[in-house]
Amino acid sequence: MIRYTLTCENGHGFEGWFSGSADFDSQMARGLVSCPVCGSMTVSKALMAPSVSTARHKEAQQALAMETVQKEVVAKIKAVVAEIKANSEDVGERFPEEARRIHYGETETRGIIGQASPDEARELLEEGIAVAPLPVLPDDVN
Model pLDDT, residue 43: 94
Domain membership of residue 138 (yes or no) is no
Give the confidence band of 84 by pLDDT, cuts at 50, 70, 90.
very high
**Contact call for residues 105 and 112 (beta carbons, < 8 A):** no
Domain membership of residue 101 (yes or no) is yes
Neighbours of 33 (CB within 10 A): 21
* pLDDT, tens digit, 9 for 90 and up, residues 103-136: 999 999 999 999 999 999 999 999 999 999 998 8
Model pLDDT, residue 58: 84
Give the confidence band of 140 by pLDDT, cuts at 50, 70, 90.
low
Neighbours of 91 (CB within 10 A): 18
Provide CB contacts within 8 A for 16, sequence distance 6+: 3, 4, 6, 24, 33
* Average pLDDT of the residues of the chain: 90
* pLDDT, tens digit, 9 for 90 and up, residues 31-62: 999 999 999 999 999 866 566 667 787 888 88
C-alpha to C-alpha distance for 48 and 66, rounded to whole angstroms: 32
Domain membership of residue 137 (yes or no) is no
Percent of the chain's residues with pLDDT above 70: 93
Q: How many domains does the chain have?
A: 3
Domain membership of residue 72 (yes or no) is yes
Q: Which domain holds residue 61?
A: 54-79
Same domain, 39 and 17: yes
Same domain, 108 and 127: yes
pLDDT at 71 over 80: yes
- The sheet carrying 43-45 orders its strands as 13-18, 2-8, 43-45
Domain membership of residue 142 (yes or no) is no
C-alpha to C-alpha distance for 128 and 122, rounded to whole angstroms: 10
Same domain, 17 and 41: yes
pTM of the model: 0.52
